[in-house]
């Protein structure tokens, strides 16, 4: 296993793993995450809700739309029932490509995935859409003549407005065939977070490579332009929902403070 003390600063992926109760983070990640928890204790619940969204979205893409191949960009560490675990439970020949910008995360991901078939992980920046789509690992596992599940889960808030994240999503979708799906979640803290929590969050995440950008619900909905949004739960109309509520069997029970820290949605390409 990679020496955890080799990291020079916290990673968003490692902090996320700590929030989820995982063991793949470093002491530096843990210290940074604990500092956030002191002022924003609901973030652990939010991380769990977000991972639940990922699992439910993957399950729905497989069972409802027949998708068996997934491109998970900004994947973080493949722990705590990540995409490939859910896919493996549903289809024996499912394929998953993980992409992350952090070389430490990719190196540790490869170690965690050692011996796992039909799964690959490589390093790239989400903004390098064409390079990711044309990467040998992507081409080896993804058949672009068939629908693809594109995963941008808790990623695009790390892409600033100057890099046009909406246009970026469109570049990926343009390369995918009809029937492909986009699963996306994004922070939206609005007025739910105290000034102290915001200040601490800014301080901690400034030490990572990609500080996050908070966006409104309307800005998050824009990512699904041109797609057919899937109803987030039984009885709801097409649209996005808070991360914990999306796909929940009991939306009222799932509507916690942590689940309101972001929005999630699943859109299908016509």
Residue pair 153/187 in contact (Cβ under 8 Å)? The answer is no
Cα dihedral value 50, 56, 57, 60, nearest 10: -170
Please give the residue range of the domain that contains residue 171: 4-268
How do residues 111-138 score in pLDDT, each as one tens digit? 989 989 999 999 999 999 999 999 999 9
CA-based angle 192:36:24, to the nearest 5?
125
In what helix (H) or strand (E) does residue 187 lie, and over which residues does it extend?
strand 181-187
CA–CA distance, 57 with 35 (Å, rounded to integer): 30
Please tell me the predicted confidence (pLDDT) of residue 229.
98
Whose tokens are 């928890």? That residue is: 37
> Is the model's pLDDT at 220 over the cut of 90?
yes
Pairing of strands 95-100, 119-123: parallel
In what helix (H) or strand (E) does residue 182 lie, and over which residues does it extend?
strand 181-187
The listed range with the strongest mean pLDDT (36-40, 203-207, 235-239) is 235-239
How do residues 67-81 score in pLDDT, each as one tens digit? 999 999 999 887 778
Whole-structure pTM value: 0.88
Cβ-Cβ contacts under 8 Å for 122 (sequence gap 6 or more):
97, 98, 99, 106, 135, 137
How do residues 153-182 score in pLDDT, each as one tens digit? 999 999 999 999 999 999 999 999 999 999
Cβ-Cβ contacts under 8 Å for 215 (sequence gap 6 or more):
157, 186, 187, 188
pLDDT-derived band at 196, boundaries 50, 70, 90? low
Mean pLDDT of 52-59: 96
Instruction: Give per-residue burial for 40-70: e unless 16+ CB within 10 Å, then b.
Output: bebbbbbbbbbbbbbbbbbebbbeebebbbb
> Is the model's pLDDT at 209 over the cut of 90?
no
CA–CA distance, 240 with 7 (Å, rounded to integer): 36
- At residue 176, φ and ψ (nearest 5 deg) are -105, 150
Query: What is the DSSP code string of 208-220?
Result: SSS------HHHH
Please tell me the predicted confidence (pLDDT) of residue 13.
83
Please tell me the predicted confidence (pLDDT) of residue 6.
43
CA–CA distance, 149 with 17 (Å, rounded to integer): 23
For residue 167, what is the domain's CATH number? 3.40.50.150
- The SS3 call for residue 184 is strand
The pLDDT mean for the chain works out to 89
Residue pair 19/47 in contact (Cβ under 8 Å)? The answer is yes
CA atoms lying within 13 Å on the CB side of residue 256: 16
Among positive and negative, which fits the CA dihedral 78, 79, 82, 88?
positive
The count of domains in the chain is 1
């Amino acid at each position: 296993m990679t020496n955890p003390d080799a990291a020079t600063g916290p990673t968003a992926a490692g902090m996320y793993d700590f929030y989820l109760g995982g063991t793949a983070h470093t002491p530096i990640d843990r210290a940074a995450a604990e500092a956030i928890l002191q002022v924003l204790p609901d973030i652990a619940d939010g991380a769990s809700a977000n991972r639940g969204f990922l699992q439910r979205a993957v399950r729905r893409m497989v069972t409802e739309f027949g998708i068996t191949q997934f491109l998970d960009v900004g994947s973080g560490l493949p722990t705590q029932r990540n995409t490939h675990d859910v896919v493996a439970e549903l289809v024996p020949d499912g394929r998953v490509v993980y992409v992350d910008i952090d070389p430490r995360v990719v190196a540790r991901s490869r170690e965690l995935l050692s011996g796992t078939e039909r799964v690959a992980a490589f390093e790239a920046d989400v903004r390098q859409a064409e390079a990711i789509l044309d990467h040998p690992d992507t081409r080896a596992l993804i058949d672009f003549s068939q629908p693809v599940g594109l995963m941008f889960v808790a990623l695009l808030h790390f892409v600033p407005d100057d890099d046009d994240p909406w246009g970026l999503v469109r570049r990926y979708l343009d390369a995918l065939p009809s029937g492909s799906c986009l699963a996306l979640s994004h922070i939206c803290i609005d007025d739910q977070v105290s000034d102290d929590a915001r200040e601490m969050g800014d301080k901690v995440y400034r030490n990572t490579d990609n500080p996050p950008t908070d966006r409104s619900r309307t800005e998050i909905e824009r990512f699904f332009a041109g797609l057919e949004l899937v109803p987030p739960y039984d009885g709801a109309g097409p649209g996005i929902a808070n991360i914990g509520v999306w796909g929940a069997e009991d939306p009222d029970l799932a509507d916690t403070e942590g689940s309101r820290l972001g929005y999630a949605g699943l859109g299908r390409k016509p």
